Chains A and B, each alone.
Chain A
Amino acid sequence: MILARPARLALVLLVVTFLSYALLDLLPGDTTTQILGLSASEEARERLRAELNLDDPLMVRYLDWLGGLLTGDMGTSPITSVPVTEALAERLPVTLELLVAAQLIALGLAVPVGVAAARRAGRALDQALTALSFALLSTPVFVLGVVLILVFAVELRLLPATGWTPISLDLGWNLTSVLLPAVTLGCGQMAVYARLLRTDLIATLQEDYITLARARGLSPRRILWRHALRPSAISLVTAVGLNLGALIGGTVIIETLFGLPGVGRLIVESIFSRDYLTVQGGVVLISVGYVLVNFAVDLVYVAVDPRIRRA
């Protein structure tokens, strides 16, 4: 099953990249106008179209691009004249750090919140945490982001409102610059994870082996953290993998809101400027990342629940 993964990855990539190539081709607007501006002559536009092979059929251009991809060449952006791999490599660390930080914050908050709600299911704390989860789930990230900036940057002046400091420049300032965006992005995920964990934990706590553990006199804390949490985490682990797509979508908004130079913003800017090659490169990157993360999630299942290994 694991060996079939690379083949599946290749198939997914083929389908996704072709579809995105075709969709971009359908978009109205002209790359030559984006490059040359409004005042360029028709002759100059025609010359550029020929130079960029924009008049070739879609399939010819796609296969040409695919051939380049197989040799590790994603092409050079006709808009910025920067190699696509270079542009993505510059932006990837920002998005990766944002994603990882958001997931860590979401999980770091969701586990205690979920456990606390499950232990007191139906009581005031559970209801309060449920209300908080729904509030976070129903708040759009751009609203939450603006509110957090107002509180922590404008009023309290604890954190910078915008901007990015790379890790290589200063770790402390890097963490400072990623915190607000990561909290904004992670809050919605936290609510989802906490709800999932709470539901699964409540079900697990009603299992026979938990009753047996209680009868043996094990402390509630030990039962909860040692015996109930792990088997209740399967849905949570699945959600972490599947939510990566939603998180990447969220980074587009977050990166724009907080002025972070990440892959999400690069892709959106490239779509608006009809920079097909950069968009394609971004699509490949996200597709590969998504498949690899979900592959890793499959491996984590085995570690979380030994029954899967035995099966």
Chain B
Amino acid sequence: MKRLTVSTALLTSLALGLAPALAACSGERPVAPSDGAAATAGASPVRGGRLVYGLGADAAGFNPVTDQFAAVSYSMAGTIIETLVGVTASGGWKPVLAESLTPSRNADEWTVKVRPGIAFSTGEPLDGKTVMANLEAQKASPLTSSVFTPVGSFELVDPMTVKVKLTGPWVAFPYHLASQIGMVVPPSSLADPEAASRRPVGTGPFVFKEYTPGSRMVVARNPSYWRKGLPYLDEVEFRVLPDTQTRAQTLEAGGIDAMGTTRDDDIVKFGALKDAYTVKRASGMSVPEYMFMLNTAAPPFDDLRLRRALAHATDRAAVIATLRGGLTEEADGPWSKDSGWYAPGGDYPAYDLEKAKALVGQVEAEKGQVSFEVITPPDPNTMQGIELAQDMWRKAGVEVRIRQVDQADLVNRAVTGDFQATVWTQFSSADPDGEYVWMHQNYARPVGSVALNFSRLKDLRLSQALDTGRSNPQDDVRKQAYATVQQRLRELVPYVFVDHLSTGAVIARTGVGGIGEHLLPDGDRGVPLTGAPIPYHPFSQVWVGGR
């Protein structure tokens, strides 16, 4: 009887806690009914349904003029706000909200003709005046004005045409209009930036429905979307799930239909379950490079021998085998071999411990013991990589201290040059010109000043090649220019490249179709996945089949 009393108390207590929730729960969150039949990847698109999509972070606002856009911002706001230009699967650009973009003969003027018959979801028409107002707002914004440095002025040629007058030739200008600065919002959003930051409005396939900061955003089909037959989905819910492991568990548990990830564990695990999940990985120019960035304006890495010694001591294959499960490719420059811009040449220091030791010995003979500090954000995955590299570099005779700093501090140190070496991930622009400001010597400043060329490498040949790539319209000349850029980077080693970080991926259950398989308005295939570290993609041609 006594035992019964205790058990009853325990059970009652448990039941009080669990019963209401269990009663309310059927194991799966209710979803809007789909009018499509069961479907799997590779089948025809199904109209209707609701997609729940897991993201690793929330956006810091949805106003492309005032808010800094990360990859998650493009996922969320990109369902509502469209860009003037899109990037194709082959790496070119094609108009989206623009009908055409035509350069002058030497590309120092671009005429942007706006696609007719498009309206914002508020009913406001899309016209040249609105496009010009957006471009002017972007040029005036402290957030994006640096990209517009080569832009002199804008002129409204006719109600649907805007002329962009540049201070010099800029052949890659349209690529920049495929990003945040090419997003077009209605005049009402420009007039009320705070409202636009919380309730985005655009011409896109979906309209804003609901947003709970830090939790979720829901967008619903735009019934008057200008691209006929799109979107397929009735609704998309973006759910913010910062913890990578629980995000993957939520996908397994059926709580979300798709998610972005950068974990090789997820790619391997879900990739093995081919019947249940599809894994799409970023490739080509969309893939950023994982590297150690060196401050070439401060000791000890103002000495080229030491920079080369560090690269010689870095066993990239070992890093990939240990940290990436063998999923990535070794990098020797900012562009991967499958990008179309990759060019061999230059003398990138291959792994050779003896050469590394010899170079370190030379430097030590002149300057004494070589030691430096490498900074890193404190997340466990990055720390593993740093510790592995520390071990490699120590074998070459270099003493390395690791300092953990948070992301904000790390970025600030990079900008002001307050570092010797840092772990770094960069270079995922659609066109090589997107990396201009990070590498050109005009953007290198002394340590202590704000500089966009964080490694502070000043090299005339490299900078001239970047200028040629920016200004020359001929493809072969541009290719040669960017081959020179890669060659100089390999010779001068401002970055110790490790790998092309192609572990950015989108994983979806097999009933979800169309991820990374979209067409641009004029019929060209769009770039499947873009952005880093977790890539993003449009949602207008995504659909859900069997659940």
Contacts and interface: CB of A to CB of B under 8 A. Distances in A.
Interface of A: 27-30, 33-42, 44-45, 47-48, 79-82, 87, 90-91, 104-105, 108-109, 111-113, 115-116, 119, 125, 145-146, 149-150, 153-154, 156-166, 171-173, 175-176, 178-179, 183, 221, 256-262, 265-266, 269, 272-274
Contacts of B145: 40-41, 44
Contact of A161 (B6, B9, B68, B253): B253
Given A29-B408, A80-B61, A161-B253, A261 B243 contact: no
Interface string B233-250: 000000111110111011
A120 to B, nearest CB: 8
Given A39-B147, A108-B17, A157-B253, A29 B411 contact: yes
Nearest to A174: B24
A158 B194 CA distance: 41
B239 A163 contact: yes
A250 B306 CA distance: 46
B24 A36 contact: no
Interface string B196-215: 01100000000000001111
Contacts of B212: 90, 164, 166, 261
B22 A158 contact: yes
B383 interface: no
A115 B492 CA distance: 72
A138 B250 CA distance: 26
User: What is the predominant secondary structure among interface residues of chain A facing chain B?
Assistant: helix
Given A28-B405, A269-B214, 8 more contacts: A28-B408, A41-B145, A90-B212, A154-B252, A159-B21, A172-B20, A179-B21, A259-B241
B250 A179 contact: no
B253 A39 contact: no
Nearest to B147: A39
A157 B254 contact: yes
A33 B247 contact: no
Interface residues of B, number: 70
B242 A38 contact: no
A146 to B, nearest CB: 6
Contact of A39 (B25, B198, B452): B452
A157 B27 CA distance: 5
Contacts of A164: 212, 215-216
B412 A30 contact: yes
Contacts of A29: 406, 408-409, 411-412
A163 B255 contact: yes
A282 to B, nearest CB: 13
A272 B407 contact: yes
Contacts of A41: 142, 145-146, 450
Given A112-B9, A261-B213, A261-B214, A33 B24 contact: no
Of all A-B residue pairs in the complex, the 9 with the closest CB atoms, nearest first, are A172-B24, A29-B408, A261-B215, A44-B142, A261-B214, A112-B9, A153-B253, A259-B241, A175-B21
B365 interface: no
29 contacts: A29-B412, A36-B143, A37-B68, A39-B452, A41-B142, A41-B450, A42-B449, A42-B450, A44-B143, A47-B142, A80-B213, A90-B212, A108-B16, A116-B6, A116-B10, A119-B2, A157-B254, A159-B21, A159-B27, A160-B25, A160-B250, A161-B250, A162-B249, A175-B20, A176-B21, A261-B212, A261-B213, A269-B58, A269-B214
A257 B241 CA distance: 8
Interface string B400-444: 000001111101111100000000000000000000010000000
Given A37-B143, A80-B61, A259-B239, A154 B21 contact: no
Interface in B170-221: 193-194, 197-198, 212-216
Interface in B74-111: none
B307 to A, nearest CB: 22
Contact of A221 (B5, B67, B254): B5
B14 interface: yes
A158 B25 contact: yes
B366 interface: no
A114 to B, nearest CB: 10
B6 A33 contact: no
Nearest to A160: B255
A38 B249 contact: no
B18 interface: yes
Nearest to B10: A112
B228 to A, nearest CB: 34
B24 A171 contact: yes
B250 A105 contact: no
Contact of B24 (A109, A173, A221, A259): A173
A205 to B, nearest CB: 15
B241 A162 contact: yes
Nearest to B52: A163
Contacts of B437: 39
Contacts of A258: 243, 246
B28 interface: yes
A272 B214 contact: no
Given A44-B142, A111-B13, A176-B25, A163 B250 contact: yes
Contacts of A175: 20-21, 24
Contacts of A166: 212
B23 interface: yes
Residue in A112, A115, A172 with the greatest tally of chain B CB atoms within 10 Å:
A112
A101 to B, nearest CB: 8
B137 interface: no
B132 to A, nearest CB: 22
B29 interface: yes
A217 to B, nearest CB: 17
B130 interface: no
B9 A115 contact: yes
A270 B340 CA distance: 40
A108 B406 CA distance: 40
A259 B243 contact: yes
Contacts of A115: 6, 9
Contacts of B405: 28
A153 B255 contact: yes
A173 B21 CA distance: 7
B414 to A, nearest CB: 8
Contacts of A47: 142
A41 B145 CA distance: 8
B29 A163 contact: yes
A85 to B, nearest CB: 14
B18 A179 contact: yes
Nearest to B25: A176
Nearest to B24: A172
A154 B249 contact: yes
B214 A149 contact: no
A39 B216 CA distance: 29
A257 B408 contact: no
Contacts of A179: 17-18, 21
A128 B10 CA distance: 14
Contacts of A79: 60
